[in-house]
């Protein structure tokens, strides 16, 4: 018999929804922090490759968190929370778009040493970072 929902030990819709909301809040907080840190550090340490590498690692961790939240959204849909799940999924898409813009900004950084490719949530790869945002947005709108 599953544990009661009040202790978070089950996979019922209420526990799944709470877990998703928590992940979204944490991810949003980290994105805001990362974007601020990136802008500040890029201004202060334009040529510091170690700082840029640290930010790349943080971005990779955020991508994994977004993937985990997407998995939870799928689980919530399976528990007849389609409307709620769609709202949460839309929030994740918004976060994903924001993360794509942060990554594109990081890749435009001088001397970052990053392989010049951004992959959007639809799988589109943009290699020309001068026009990466508009090219990716145009291909996703199709």
Q: Convert the pLDDT of each residue in 41-100 to its tens digit.
A: 667 766 767 766 777 777 777 767 766 666 665 565 555 555 666 677 777 778 877 887
Please check whether residue 1 lies inside any domain of the structure: no
Please check whether residue 104 lies inside any domain of the structure: yes
Please check whether residue 128 lies inside any domain of the structure: no
Domain extent at residue 38: 11-115
Q: Which residues of 36-53 are buried (b: 16+ CB within 10 A; e: fewer)?
A: eebeebbeeeeeeeebbe
Q: What is the pLDDT of residue 26?
A: 77
DSSP conformation class of 20:
H
Please check whether residue 137 lies inside any domain of the structure: no
Q: Rounded distance, CA 17 to CA 80, Å? A: 11
Q: Rounded distance, CA 40 to CA 121, Å? A: 27
| 121 pLDDT higher than 70 | no
- pLDDT band with cut points at 50, 70 and 90 for residue 103: confident
Global pTM?
0.32
């Amino acid at each position: 018999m599953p544990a009661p929902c009040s202790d978070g030990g089950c996979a019922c819709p209420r526990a799944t929804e709470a877990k998703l909301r928590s992940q979204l809040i944490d991810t949003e907080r980290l994105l805001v922090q990362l974007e601020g840190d990136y802008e500040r550090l890029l201004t202060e340490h334009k040529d510091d490759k170690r700082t840029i590498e640290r930010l790349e690692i943080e971005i990779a961790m955020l991508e994994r968190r977004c993937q985990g939240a997407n998995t939870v959204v799928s689980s919530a849909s399976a528990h007849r929370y389609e409307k709620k799940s769609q709202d949460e999924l839309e929030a994740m898409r918004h976060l994903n778009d924001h993360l794509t813009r942060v990554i594109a900004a990081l890749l435009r950084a001088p001397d970052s040493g990053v392989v010049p490719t951004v992959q959007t949530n639809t799988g589109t790869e943009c290699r020309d970072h001068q026009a990466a945002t508009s090219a990716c947005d145009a291909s996703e709108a199709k």
